[in-house]
Amino acid sequence: MAYTLTVNGSPHTVDTEPGTPLLWVLRDLLDLVGTKYGCGVAQCGACTVHLDGVPVRACVTPVSRVGAKAVTTIEGIAANPVGARVQEAWKSLDVPQCGYCQAGQIMSATALLAATPKPTDAQIDEAMDGNLCRCATYPRIRKAIKSASGQAEA
Amino acid sequence: MNAPVLSRRLFLAASTAAGGGLMLAFNLEGEARAAGPAALSAYLKVSPDGKATIASKIPEVGQGMRTALPMIIAEELDVAWEDVIVEQALADTKVYGRQVAGGSMATTLEWDGMRRVGAAGRWMLIQAAAAKLNVPAAELTTEPGRVVHAASGRRLSYGDLAQAAAAIAPPDPKTLVLKDPKAFRIIGKSHVQTDTDAILTGKPLFGIDVRLPGMVYATFLKAPTFAAKVASADLAAAKAVKGVRDAFVVEGGTALDGLLPGVAVVADSWWAARRGRNALDATWAEHPTSAQSTASLAARAAEFAKAGAQRVARADGDVAAALKGAAKVVSASYDYPFIAHAPLEPQNCTARVKDGKVEIWAPTQNPEPGRALVAKTLNVPPENVTIHLIRCGGGFGRRLINDYMVEAAFIASKVDAPVQLIWTREDDIQHDFYRPGGWHNFTAGLDAKGDLVAWRDHFVSFGEGETFVRSGGMNSTQFPAGAVANYQHEVSVMPLGIPTGPLRAPGNNAFGFVIQSFTDEVALAAKTDPVEFRRKLLGEPRLIGPEGQNDSFHTGRMRGVLDLVAEKSGWGRKLAKGRGLGVACHFSHLGYVAVVMEVSVAKGEAKVHKVWVAADVGRQIINPTGADHQVQGSILDAIGSTLRQKITFENGAAVESNFGDFPLLRMSETPPIEVHYLLSDNRPTGLGEPVLPPAPAALCNAIFAATGKRIRSLPVGDQLA
Ligand code: FES
Ligand code: FES
């Protein structure tokens, strides 16, 4: 089946099975490898992308369900002012260790701040709990979210 | 090329870089002698534009060595960090010496040599400037990126001097004068990781991001029971899946860390390979270990506990007599489970096999054994195997073993295209080299004053005779060895058919838990405060064990971090009901670390509210932001595994398979962590591992303080319900 997807603002047509997860369409067919595979079953958040600004797990999102929704990946998140701010905060706090989870973390954090510009700790927990970091960079992720939202670290 | 200069450890050779400028190649272990200077690759290059390119030889797994080691060179070279470009060196121990991300050894092994490399470059640039300005070199100093002649106010940039410096013979590294640490501009200041920008923008960096022209994707299905052979597989069904190029059975061998039997499916995309694999409907042959289970191993361990040890590994004094004469005897048995590493990037590797040459792109912590394994399995000479070191999405020791590398190379040897093998998460958790479980049967004796007079640990592990399975051994020098007159370390082993291997602070990640938990029990029996009891046990500052030996233990350094963590955590203060403070201290990987945790327990769940860490890893923290990362990461790693992680076995196979049943710690469970470094006058040592071992006991001791419930078996799981 042919599908036309809008990814980071540009249209791409791919020919694949309807059930192919968006994750593998991005990685193997469109060569956008920033979105990561961690678990394949919506348990780690490494594959988080936005569909019309809403964070979804690309590993369990069949390409057939994307439709006309705009797909945003880590490669395109800087075009979103909130995303750019998140990246900046991540950099100044040197958030990553191995870095593998960080694309997903940034996508989730950007969606959180877009919906909730000044999140509380509890809101951060709730929005970020599905994004695992094996290196456990959580203290800096929290700090970076606060810094990107203009809140001083408590 | 200039005459190479050789010192015992450091070998330098200068030449003109491609594109001009100074190329200073070096080797830290002098092994390049045999290969000759031509075999040396670039380590430090100063280009005509003034940029310094530094090749980082240690694999990067998130431990920060791609940043910290170049910082050391840049410091002594005296360039601005902004002018440094870091390149990843190829895997070639003949050229580079040890290339292992493991054992927390890079900092301590490379510190002096890296400084001398940078200083040698600086020295050569100064000589070039002296010739150009026609002044004695002694009148010249440097500022970042420039040689300065203060008397005349003249300055020459490194870029302008680089070409001339290439013609100067490198100095004898031993004669170089290194910077006074007080003058450090780069070392000791936080520097964002080299690859942070690329990480944050989603650039291809990791093993699974490698893309080669014409590359295909592979998956490899192995038997749930380790090393069982393929009985049947519907290869035709797999090949019928759209996009699948090939499916074939791999005979494989029996060595658990080699190429195992399985079925490979190769396709145009990984998802197609995955669908092909689902169609295989494979069955597996009976295997001698298929009766093995967690319950059967535990039953065997219980028999050992009852029957007594197979052998005595160390006996100081007379433990039996001391226990008989003790005013009080305390006994307890501890155990801990097998656990998986689960780095977030599943195992993967990309390989191309063509005309007898093998080229590999591997996220590996230890390339050299991988090269040997690939060469042997594919029957090619090792020098025909090229390994590119690719950033690892986490290591934790898992990627010290290169089973996935040999799988990729073997599959690629059967396919006329480069192949990227990617494991599923289930493959990763069910085919790990697990941190082995273990059992410790402790007995301690106290005299009438409450002083420890006897300590016995009967350690039950896996192996045969005097040999342990990989990472299943225990050194007989664990404190309080050497501090108590009567000390006995006993060992029993049983055979095992499950792959095991090093996980962050191997051995110590478990010994810290059992020893420091039992120490708390003994302190309680002695009616002494846990910190006070440890102070007494440490006694006078002294070195236990021979000078210069890696497991020799300095009681004074431990006392220092123990006192510091007690002070910072407000040890002894009153806490609300249901809250407790727990302490533990442990020495490993040359680091002395003490941890206090504040914990509450409600509704059967332990919650860590705050953690204090004091660490003594010598006189210099190289990159504080990276150091804090390692400390915090180690603590949180320990909290996650202590509370919930275990791998259980049934029918010789792992039961857990993904993050649902092998949970990682989450954001909402992360406490604030206060980190204190005690700078002592000792050489700088690594931080990736030594902080982990004391943490599980600090947590469990705090649970005890909060609830009176002693955790003697990990994980904590539902024991608090
Ligand atoms: S890979 Fe999608 S949530 Fe883990
Ligand atoms: S930085 Fe390694 S998994 Fe998050």
Rounded CA separation B170/B135 (Å): 19
For chain A, where do the domains classified as CATH 1.10.150.120 start and end? Answer: 78-148
Q: So what's the pLDDT on residue B69?
A: 84
- Residue B680: its H or E element: none
Contact B326, B172 (CB under 8 A): no
Taking each helix axis from N to C end, the angle separating B367-378 and B403-413, rounded to the nearest 10 degrees, works out to 40
Q: Report which of B681, B594, B691 is spatially closest to residue B635, judged by C-alpha positions.
A: B691
Instruction: Output the CA B658–ligand 1 centroid distance in Å.
Output: 11
DSSP string for B38-107? GGPPPSEEE-TTS-EEEEE-SPPSSSSHHHHHHHHHHHHHT--GGGEEEEEPPS-HHHHS-----TT-HH
- The second-level CATH assignment, the architecture, of A2-76 is Roll (3.10)
Question: Both tokens of residue A129?
Answer: 């709990």
Question: Both tokens of residue A109?
Answer: 């954090």
CA atoms within 13 A on the CB side of B620: 20
Residue A34, min C-alpha distance to chain B (Å): 4
Question: Both tokens of residue B385?
Answer: 């195997």
Rounded CA separation B58/B97 (Å): 10
Residue A124, min C-alpha distance to chain B (Å): 8
| Residue B79: partners with Cβ closer than 8 Å, 6 or more residues away | B50, B52, B144, B145, B158
Q: Which of A22, A25, A39, A107 to mutate to test the pocket of ligand 1 (most atoms within 8 A of CB)?
A: A39
Q: So what's the pLDDT on residue B61?
A: 75
- ipTM for the complex shown: 0.97
On chain A, the residues whose CB falls within 8 A of the CB of B345 are: 36, 38, 98, 100
| Digit-coded pLDDT (tens) for A55-105 | 999 999 999 999 999 999 999 999 999 999 999 999 999 999 999 999 999
Contact B583, B683 (CB under 8 A): no
CATH number listed for the domain at residues A78-148: 1.10.150.120
- A28 pLDDT higher than 90: yes
Question: Both tokens of residue A91?
Answer: 């950099």
Q: So what's the pLDDT on residue B309?
A: 97
For chain A, where do the domains classified as CATH 3.10.20.30 start and end? Answer: 2-76
Q: So what's the pLDDT on residue B653?
A: 97
Q: Which ligand is nearest the CA of B393, by number? A: 2
Contact A77, A110 (CB under 8 A): yes
Rounded CA separation B225/B183 (Å): 58
Contact B353, B377 (CB under 8 A): no
Question: Both tokens of residue B360?
Answer: 């590999």
Q: So what's the pLDDT on residue A35?
A: 98
| Residue B295: partners with Cβ closer than 8 Å, 6 or more residues away | none
| Digit-coded pLDDT (tens) for B643-702 | 999 999 999 999 999 999 999 999 999 999 999 999 999 988 989 999 999 999 999 999
Which residues of chain B fall below pLDDT 70? 1-9, 28-42, 94-98, 101-109
Q: So what's the pLDDT on residue B30?
A: 44
On chain A, the residues whose CB falls within 8 A of the CB of B393 are: 36, 98-101
| Residue B633: partners with Cβ closer than 8 Å, 6 or more residues away | A97, A135, A136, A137
Rounded CA separation B341/B423 (Å): 14
Cα–Cα distances (Å) from A95 to B145, B445, B638, B671, in that order, read 29, 48, 20, 17
Q: Are strands B283-284 and B357-362 parallel, antiparallel or unpaired?
A: unpaired
B688, exposed or middle or buried, with CB in 10 Å at 0-12, 13-18, 19+? Answer: buried
Q: Where are the beta strands (DSSP E) in B526-618?
A: 543-544, 553-554, 579-588, 591-602, 605-616
Q: Are strands B419-422 and B216-221 parallel, antiparallel or unpaired?
A: parallel
Portion 4-33 of A in contact with B at CB < 8 A: 16-17, 20-21, 24, 27-29, 31-33
| Digit-coded pLDDT (tens) for B418-436 | 999 999 999 999 999 999 9
Q: What are the structural domains of chain B?
A: 5-198 (3.30.365.10), 207-287+347-422 (3.30.365.10), 308-338+434-707 (3.30.365.10)
Look at A133 and B344 and tell me if their CB atoms are within 8 Å.
yes
* Dihedral (Cα; A122, A124, A125, A130), 10-degree rounding: 150
Contact B252, B261 (CB under 8 A): yes
On chain B, the residues whose CB falls within 8 A of the CB of A128 are: 667
Q: So what's the pLDDT on residue B59?
A: 76
Cα–Cα distances (Å) from B604 to B329, B446, B450, B498, B581, in that order, read 31, 33, 34, 32, 18
Contact B513, B715 (CB under 8 A): no
Residue B183, min C-alpha distance to chain A (Å): 25
Backbone phi and psi for residue A18, each to the nearest 5 degrees, phi listed first: -60, -30
Is the minimum distance from the CB of A45 to ligand 1 under 6 angstroms?
yes
| Residue A53: partners with Cβ closer than 8 Å, 6 or more residues away | A70, A72, A111, A114
Backbone phi and psi for residue B489, each to the nearest 5 degrees, phi listed first: -115, 115
Portion 322-361 of B in contact with A at CB < 8 A: 342-346
Size of interface A-B (CB pairs under 8 A): 175
Q: Which ligand is nearest the CA of B60, by number? A: 2
Neighbours of B180 (CB within 10 A): 7
| Digit-coded pLDDT (tens) for A113-131 | 999 999 999 999 999 999 9
